[in-house]
Structure formats: structure tokens, C-alpha cells
Amino acid sequence: MQTFHHINSLRAVLTKERAAGKRIGFVPTMGNLHGAHLELVKLARSTNDIVVCSIFVNGLQFGLNEDWDKYPRTLLEDSQKLENVGCDYLFNPDDNEMYPNGLDTQSRVICPTMTDVLCGASRPGHFEGVTTVVTKLFNIVQPDEAVFGIKDYQQLAVIRRMVEDLCMGIEITAAPIHREADGLAMSSRNGFITSEERPRVSQLNQSLNWVKEQLEAGRRDFATLSGDASRQIENSGFKLDYLSICNSKTLAPAAHDDKAITILGAMFTAGARLIDNVSTELE
């Protein structure tokens, strides 16, 4: 695996790969890699000739009082993990390489739908930072396919819409959520969960699945279901951010005749904000 810190050097090698007819897959990350990240790379490896992974902790998507400064930087460990699963090229730029004119005057990419609800309501400007950096990375790598995890369901939906709206011609592939034995979705922020909290954090996933089971049993009282599931989480000792039953494509509140439904939730532990989702296709 080769590591590049500069855009021009990565572009040069990928231009040669592209000229040789190679299909390029791309997995963007912020590093501190765990098993779920590596599954994204394996999926990209299975459908492409060349796999590129990026590690960049993007300050543009972190809001005030968020954890940009304490987000773990584990480049040496991450590099070894990526090499072990067949990554060909690692792109690891610094802030000056990605934002040479500074964050304040950086041109932005804005998706006007699906970005001011759910996580977007709790983190103003977050998705503007995501769509901007992903567009920059897509322009640098110019992949045929990019792989994202379903755990960040709203992010996936926003990126799909952005790619469609901007006619990017990149195949966006969704990888399933990878979970711990108790159902907790793998996340870089799980390292901030305390040992006292750890036995209880699976409540988020349990409550989302409880709503799914109720919907599949025929219930459509969405507000009551959301309220009951929210109380389950709060009674477990966690602060709820949101729990919403949504149309899977638009992320609008689910209507009674919707068939594809996704239940999304976020909650706070003492040191982490955890997100999760489950989806269903109703009869």
C-alpha cells in the first residue's frame, strides 16, 4: 500500500491506473478504523481493481463544542489495518492540503433537502461540511464507486442526493451496519463509552428494533411508538437526541401508506453521541 499526503501525487498515480482501464473504488474515512471500516474496504475490494481509502479528520463538519480536537488520530495502526485488507492507496492530507484558503472562505456544497432534520437539527452546518469535503475527495480521486456505511443513514441519503443532483456519475454503494455482539453499532466514538454505561448502551438498538416489530405487527400510531421508545432509552439513563420514524428515501416523517420505513435514533452517553437505525419494508 502506498500513502500519499498531497493531491497532485495521488492524482498522478490514479491517472495511470485509469488509463490502464482499472476500475477504482473509494472509501472515505476520518480514521481511528475499526472492523466496520475494514468491511467497507473489503466490499470495495470485491468490486474494483484498485481501492483508495482516505483518512482526514474534517474540521468543517464539526460544530462548536464538538469533539474535533479529541477525535482519535491513529494513523500508524490504521495504515496497517488497511494494508491487511487490500487497500492499494491511502490518501492522508492535512488541513492545508484540503483547505488551502482556510475554512472561513472555503466554497461550500449545500444539499437543501434532508440536512436540517435528525442529526442536521442537532448539528447545524454538519452536512454542509460533509457534502463539501466528500465533493472535494470525489474530485481528487474520481472513483467509479464509493462505499459508505448504512450506520450513517442520513449521511448516505444526502450523499446519494448530492451525487444525483450534481451528475457525478459515481456509483454509491451502501454497506450494512456491523455490530458488537449485543447489537451496538460499531463506531469510532464507542471508545468514549464508560465501563459503567457499556452494558446499557445497546438500549438504543433494542428500542429501534422494538418500533420495527410494532410496525411490522400492523401498528401505525407513529407518535405513540416514538414516544414509548424514547422513554425506554431515557429510562435506561441516557439523554435522547431524537427518535424518528421516517420515509426511507426522503427522511420525511413516515406517512400511513409508506412501505419503506427507517427508524433513526441518536442518544448521548457521558462522553459520546451514538446513532443507529433500522429499516423495514411493510406489506
Find the catalytic residue in 5, 34, 37, 126.
37
pLDDT of residue 283: 84
**CATH of 188-278 among 3.90.1010.10, 3.40.50.1820, 3.40.50.2300, 3.30.1300.10:** 3.30.1300.10
CATH architecture of 2-175: 3-Layer(aba) Sandwich (3.40)
Segment 20-78, tens digit of pLDDT: 999 999 999 999 999 999 999 999 999 999 999 999 999 888 865 566 677 778 999 99
Domain map of the chain by residue range? Answer: 2-175, 188-278
Fold match between domain 2-175 and domain 188-278: no
SS3 sequence of 193-237: CCCCCHHHCCHHHHHHHHHHHHHHCCCCCHHHHHHHHHHHHHHCC
**Catalytic status, residue 178:** no
Average pLDDT on 91-117 reads: 94
Pairing of strands 2-4, 89-91: parallel
Segment 226-253, tens digit of pLDDT: 999 999 999 999 999 999 999 999 999 9
Cell 491517472 belongs to: 15
Q: Which three cell numbers stand for residue 161?
A: 442526493
**What pTM, to 2 d.p., does this model score?**
0.92
Segment 188-218, tens digit of pLDDT: 889 899 999 999 999 999 999 999 999 999 9
